[in-house]
């Protein structure tokens, strides 16, 4: 599975500040059903360490910055999310690890499905096995 590029998120900037809009099937490449955000993460903490069987996500830092490793079961790529105007599309069957959160980081995620713990693969060896076979 190939790695995504960062997506530009349009920002409407004027002297009053910035307004950023996310719209399903426009700048977000799927129907959004859920949004959550992660904040107040200590700089030494690491999160993620899982893949999703069926979920599509767009991750972006509303504020601050963090790094995300994506792993497709063969290769890994590191992304630096450091702009509210850049989003990372994360398709299904991508292992992710998030780290180096700045103290002001607010990492937001738009997701294509409601929360379902059954959709998670939290064991890396199991993820490798599934991604090698191309089946879940
Ligand atoms: C992801 C990365 C980028 C819920 O109850 N509802 C929810 O919608 C979510 C997202 C999580 N939870 C529960 C599940 C765990 O008991 O919140 C707890 C913490 O979740 P987790 O350890 O999975 O958090 P992260 O930061 O490792 O991963 C999160 C998302 O869970 C995941 O979908 O892709 O952010």
Q: What is the pLDDT of residue 97?
A: 98
Enclosing H/E stretch for 130: helix 124-133
Count how many residues are written for the chain. 136
- Tell me if 115 CB under 6 Å of ligand 1: yes
- Tell me if 69 CB under 6 Å of ligand 1: no
- Tell me if 37 CB under 6 Å of ligand 1: no
User: How far apart, in Å, are the Cα atoms of 4 and each of 19, 40, 46?
Assistant: 25, 27, 22
Measured in Å, residue 73 CA sits from the centre of ligand 1 at 21
Catalytically annotated residue among 50, 53, 67, 85 = 50
Look up the pTM and report it.
Answer: 0.95
Selected residue with higher pLDDT from 135 and 86? 86
Q: Are the CB atoms for 112 and 30 separated by under 8 Å?
A: yes
**Atom 16 of ligand 1, residue of closest alpha carbon:** 117
Query: What is the distance between the alpha carbons of residues 30 and 24, in angstroms, rounded to a whole number?
Result: 6
Q: What is the mean pLDDT of residues 108-113?
A: 98
Query: What is the distance between the alpha carbons of residues 84 and 50, in angstroms, rounded to a whole number?
Result: 24
Mean of all residue pLDDT scores within the chain: 96
Measured in Å, residue 13 CA sits from the centre of ligand 1 at 31
């Amino acid at each position: 599975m190939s790695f995504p590029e960062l997506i530009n998120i349009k920002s409407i900037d004027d002297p009053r500040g910035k307004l950023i809009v996310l719209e399903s099937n426009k700048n977000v490449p799927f129907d959004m059903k859920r949004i959550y955000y992660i904040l107040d993460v200590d700089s030494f903490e690491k999160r993620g360490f899982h893949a999703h069987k069926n979920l599509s996500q767009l991750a972006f830092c509303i504020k601050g910055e963090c790094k995300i490793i994506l792993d497709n079961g063969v290769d890994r790529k590191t992304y630096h999310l450091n702009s509210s105007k850049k989003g990372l599309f994360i398709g299904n069957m991508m292992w992710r690890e998030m780290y180096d959160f700045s103290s002001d980081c607010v990492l937001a995620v738009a997701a294509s499905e409601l929360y379902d713990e059954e959709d998670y693969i939290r064991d890396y060896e199991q993820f490798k096995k599934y991604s090698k076979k191309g089946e879940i």
